[in-house]
Structure 1
């Protein structure tokens, strides 16, 4: 069933609003996360992270670049990488969503002030970039392979969309800045203009969404032109190959995501937007295949993507080394963008499953608990404890085992910030039949069905700590409607209780639907089995052959050396010295998952290999029981080693 979304009577405060599709997304004005894990994360994001990011962007001169551009001195005084403008725009977007979420007056004032500084740097024809085009700088669009000009525009456009949808009457001028810039892009790169693309995809989904938000079809058309040109060799070949920036194969001919993982996901997200707006079923089918193959062969158990530090790229199929995982945080934000668009288009729960996995195990892993330090990459096996990073200087992005306050390349912190600020927009949707709940958190949903009927429900849960999810209906209607609840793929044995049957009924993974004439006070309860599960890898992933992982609900667990030391194993506990004694030893005790391990004595010989005895080489020194913690919580207790995949005896 296809829902026409153009009939919506108000601006939906959400990042993605396709003109039609299987599902209509609900915005921040319709869904509010009221408690639990994600409410806590959103509070920290609004209270601490946004100000932290703003401080560092001022400190590093990235915001000051706009002041220097307006003053004509930027060639001498510019700070940051060629793409630093984009990080400021992501901060603006995060601020806009936060204002829409919380109404924070201080964030609103800081946003308005920041927009004024950016506006002063825009040139009369709409061009705006602090790295190119002014005296003493390289010419505009002279380095489309690496210059990131269109990429920066893309993040500006997404910030403007957030502003337009959360505060449509705002007078700060951000939307006008973006429209002038978009008009410039269309004039420069239109059908009769430069037949080129940007080395870093991002403008594609941004132009499509700006077109949807403003009603300007030419922006959508320009996004379609960029998608069609991609893969036709308009960019110069490089040492990493054209696959690095997805210019080796046309989008509709690709069968899997390849190259730089962030770029690949951003491009795929934009291509879905184009496929929907142009009714291109073949393009949508190609993107669906790419998603399926990438998830099946090139995605870590955490949902992370990108196995290579070189090129920040996907590896070959089954190439998923845990200790060399790059798994960039931004790639996971892009993965959520891609999956969400496919979910809106096709209404298949598998897309929400991957979103959940990625949110809990990568997006939530990047920021420290206090929200002022971050992972750029997300290894699944930390071999060295590392050192505490400096707090007063930016650090290299992939060298610390602890989260760092800032990186020389800090694309990930504002990307996480904008995702957390807009997170309520990924919770639920509606279609002609009723309401669908995709992500579980305590929430208030106040929306309407396509026929205009008001629909109010509350979600009550302590998920993921507890698997009980109660959906309480607050409105009565004479006509029936359908409440749909996602049953995650891992949730075999889930049960559903409805007002029509007090006895729990087993429901299969997928979607559980309840259709009835709901009355205010009716409760539908979904019980998900969130106990620990031992997971084995596909044998073709040779980097973890002979290992197992443990999951609990949507969370991937890990063993951290802090807990081995706490168990009295050794002074400098190393997770590389242990083996899981048996799968049965993994169990839950008082809400905590524990497991039993053998601890090996390191080989004493001067050669690290020796003949195996009849039962293999054990060198066991002790049996210990240690807790497994949620992967997103690791490295919050000081330097440590850690592993997700556990050798099994």
Structure 2
């Protein structure tokens, strides 16, 4: 259903009755599925997702709050307050001139010019966390004091950007290709939406709406035609519309989307592709440029499409999804194969050792796929959410929750210089460009909101996690209890209790990687539709047991992925595995290791890893090349002999938690398995007894 052109602004009446999480379509949106309330899903801290969320609350979020002080992001705002004693001077005008000026004795601006966005993302994370039981008082104090600070320093006309206000007040809105003014505003809007939905920091919505109204005056239908060099404000304006019911915010988001690709930005330095200004969205057929900017833009595109009923925008999003996930996504779900411009490369350009694979791109991929899932209901979007969450997102954070990767390569060579912050050999506590840690914090604080959904027919479980789900079906309460050791084990036990005897459908996703499953659901009418097992019955009392077969498997890349020809990856369930130097015999170089594809695959415990974590074991050959020249005649085999060993692979998300050292996901395959002695057992294994099938069925997302 399309919205009318004129939408009233009954701000309070428009709000939904229950507290909601991120990306909550309005009742009139053309969405297939609808999220459950923020309080409707609870993750059990005994399960892996629950552990991650608990770690986020105990370690990551407090760490981000402390780093905002340590790195100076909060001081940049405090200086605006302290220079004249009463906040902003209100001298800026709506045409982009004026502002606070530099003042006297305020100190220099610190850090990246868009550091305000780090504050806003942390505020959003704090709001989502405050919705969960028993948050610490320190977190509430941070949120309330920071919201008060923002209200103090905001200019009288609503403008708020600490860098421009302090350093470039005469250039307000004049350098949108690099200034990140609208990008920062977008993160402020999302933080305000989170506080409004949770019911904390109420004045932040007032701050956000004053700035949003300023944007309407300057960039609205009769205003300046312009877009931001870093998309983000589009999805944020839609969320602000959803929270307030104020239709002009949605109209402005649509206007920004429609203005993309018209060459409105100064592209002399960065180029139009990097800035997502090279082609109108509706005409685009290939994801390109800065990966985070592309993915944030696409999240906004889907939000605008479902709220306005714009089917051409949805069609463009589906087309670009095919481009991204069928030709340009790493096996870990990561995006961005070029360090230059943090960008997508050509189709199938996916070098493992030079993968940029920024953490924020992984978060953005998760968010875009959630919106696509709500719009279409297709399982491929949930499959990608799962893949990127358990690999690229999870791998960015250390087990202590306070160290992070910015880029996430799939291979680290012996002798790698880890001093380069773009490709470190270990996670770091913070970065000069600190976009990733608070982005992780806000995702993990709201993670439960992405696991399940509802529609007019029942409840859908998309991400399997131990916990409880509450919903309303046919106007009556429903409780779904999930017990599972996923992703370490494929058994999912679901207990259902409903107050009504009217039949409805419980949908359980069958992951795209799963080749075999078994279900026990007494009395249910069972169908399979687009990757979902749909169970219809009277659920006043009932149980379901789903067994997803999880054998280890070997996966090959598409032949066009030249960088990993002759290599295989180890995968079990949704988890990608890797070899680390720490698991090799002393003196063994990882580059000398080859995989024996005929050897049996096995499982083992991960020493020092999370509870129940599963490692994989596989046969390999160590074959040093000897004193080979850098280049040799193509017909001359390298010198050296091989010895058989049993290799142990750990989940990719766990790599780098021990001493820094080489790592690789894609393992070269040994082409000569006719001879060799297993040095771990002394047994001849050249027959390949128990050889495992190589899984070459294309993943719905395009890997393998």
Instruction: Give the TM-score range, shorter chain.
Output: over 0.9
Distance 1:138 1:435 in 2: 53
Q: SS at 2:468's partner residue?
A: strand
For 1:95, the equivalent position in structure 2 comes to 126
* Range that drifts further, 142-151 or 107-116: 107-116
In the superposition, relative to structure 1, how do residues 384 and 18 fare at CA in structure 2: closer, same or farther (>3 Å)? same
For 2:151, the equivalent position in structure 1 comes to 119
* Range that drifts further, 620-629 or 155-164: 620-629
Distance 1:490 1:218 in 2: 43
The yes-or-no answer on 1:228 pairing with 2:258 is: yes
* Range that drifts further, 470-479 or 310-319: 470-479
Correspondent of 2:620 among 564, 581, 597: 597
Correspondent of 2:160 among 103, 128, 132: 128
Alignment of 1:612-623 (within 5 A): 612=635, 616-617=637-638, 619-623=640-644
Correspondent of 2:112 among 76, 81, 84: 81
Distance 1:514 1:7 in 2: 34
Q: CA deviation at 1:238?
A: 2.9
Q: TM-score, normalised by structure 1?
A: 0.93
In the superposition, relative to structure 1, how do residues 540 and 216 fare at CA in structure 2: closer, same or farther (>3 Å)? same
In the superposition, relative to structure 1, how do residues 341 and 618 fare at CA in structure 2: closer, same or farther (>3 Å)? farther
In the superposition, relative to structure 1, how do residues 136 and 226 fare at CA in structure 2: closer, same or farther (>3 Å)? closer
Would you say the 8 A contact 2:625–2:639 is kept in 1?
A: no
The yes-or-no answer on 1:415 pairing with 2:439 is: yes
The yes-or-no answer on 1:39 pairing with 2:50 is: yes
Q: SS at 2:406's partner residue?
A: coil
For 2:70, the equivalent position in structure 1 comes to 59
Distance 1:547 1:595 in 2: 14
Alignment of 1:47-446 (within 5 A): 47-72=58-83, 76-106=107-137, 107-134=139-166, 137-167=169-199, 170=200, 172-384=202-414, 397-446=421-470
Q: SS at 1:63's partner residue?
A: helix
Q: SS at 2:569's partner residue?
A: strand
For 1:392, the equivalent position in structure 2 comes to none
Alignment of 1:621-640 (within 5 A): 621-640=642-661
Q: CA deviation at 1:134?
A: 4.5
Distance 1:213 1:64 in 2: 30
For 1:537, the equivalent position in structure 2 comes to 557
Deviations 1:249-284 (A, max 9, x none): 001111121100000000000011111111111111
For 1:500, the equivalent position in structure 2 comes to 523
Q: CA deviation at 1:131?
A: 1.0
Distance 2:390 2:461 in 1: 17
Correspondent of 2:21 among 14, 38, 53: 14
Would you say the 8 A contact 2:509–2:532 is kept in 1?
A: yes
In the superposition, relative to structure 1, how do residues 439 and 7 fare at CA in structure 2: closer, same or farther (>3 Å)? farther
For 2:485, the equivalent position in structure 1 comes to 462
For 1:471, the equivalent position in structure 2 comes to 494
Q: SS at 1:482's partner residue?
A: strand
Distance 2:504 2:232 in 1: 38
Q: CA deviation at 1:11?
A: 3.8
Q: CA deviation at 1:582?
A: 2.0
Q: SS at 1:243's partner residue?
A: coil
* Range that drifts further, 580-589 or 181-190: 580-589
* Range that drifts further, 573-582 or 156-165: 573-582
For 1:393, the equivalent position in structure 2 comes to none
Gaps of 5+ in 1: 390-395
Distance 1:283 1:136 in 2: 36
Bigger CA radius of gyration:
2
Q: SS at 1:602's partner residue?
A: coil
Correspondent of 1:448 among 465, 472, 490: 472
Would you say the 8 A contact 1:13–1:100 is kept in 2?
A: no
Q: SS at 2:162's partner residue?
A: coil
In the superposition, relative to structure 1, how do residues 510 and 251 fare at CA in structure 2: closer, same or farther (>3 Å)? same
Distance 1:284 1:551 in 2: 32
Would you say the 8 A contact 1:531–1:553 is kept in 2?
A: yes
In the superposition, relative to structure 1, how do residues 243 and 136 fare at CA in structure 2: closer, same or farther (>3 Å)? closer
Distance 1:578 1:342 in 2: 41
Would you say the 8 A contact 1:299–1:305 is kept in 2?
A: yes
In the superposition, relative to structure 1, how do residues 583 and 112 fare at CA in structure 2: closer, same or farther (>3 Å)? farther
Deviations 1:148-201 (A, max 9, x none): 00000000011011111111xx35511111111111111111111111000000
Would you say the 8 A contact 1:388–1:638 is kept in 2?
A: no
Distance 2:502 2:287 in 1: 44
Q: SS at 2:661's partner residue?
A: coil
Deviations 1:38-82 (A, max 9, x none): 111111111111111111111111111111112335774211111
Gaps of 5+ in 2: 3-12, 84-101, 606-613, 671-704
Q: TM-score, normalised by structure 2?
A: 0.86
Distance 1:150 1:375 in 2: 26
The yes-or-no answer on 1:579 pairing with 2:598 is: no
Q: CA deviation at 1:310?
A: 0.2
Would you say the 8 A contact 1:321–1:543 is kept in 2?
A: yes
Would you say the 8 A contact 2:524–2:535 is kept in 1?
A: no
Distance 1:268 1:135 in 2: 32
Q: CA deviation at 1:377?
A: 0.3
Correspondent of 1:547 among 558, 562, 567: 567
Alignment of 1:484-523 (within 5 A): 484-500=507-523, 510-520=531-541, 522-523=542-543
Distance 1:531 1:374 in 2: 30
Deviations 1:351-371 (A, max 9, x none): 000000000011111110011
* Range that drifts further, 367-376 or 470-479: 470-479
Distance 2:561 2:628 in 1: 31
Distance 1:618 1:588 in 2: 33
Would you say the 8 A contact 1:101–1:422 is kept in 2?
A: no
In the superposition, relative to structure 1, how do residues 388 and 610 fare at CA in structure 2: closer, same or farther (>3 Å)? closer
Would you say the 8 A contact 1:600–1:620 is kept in 2?
A: yes
Q: CA deviation at 1:143?
A: 1.1
Would you say the 8 A contact 2:577–2:651 is kept in 1?
A: yes
* Range that drifts further, 635-644 or 19-28: 19-28
Q: SS at 2:617's partner residue?
A: strand
In the superposition, relative to structure 1, how do residues 171 and 625 fare at CA in structure 2: closer, same or farther (>3 Å)? closer
In the superposition, relative to structure 1, how do residues 23 and 507 fare at CA in structure 2: closer, same or farther (>3 Å)? closer
In the superposition, relative to structure 1, how do residues 608 and 206 fare at CA in structure 2: closer, same or farther (>3 Å)? same
In the superposition, relative to structure 1, how do residues 346 and 507 fare at CA in structure 2: closer, same or farther (>3 Å)? closer
Distance 1:618 1:468 in 2: 48
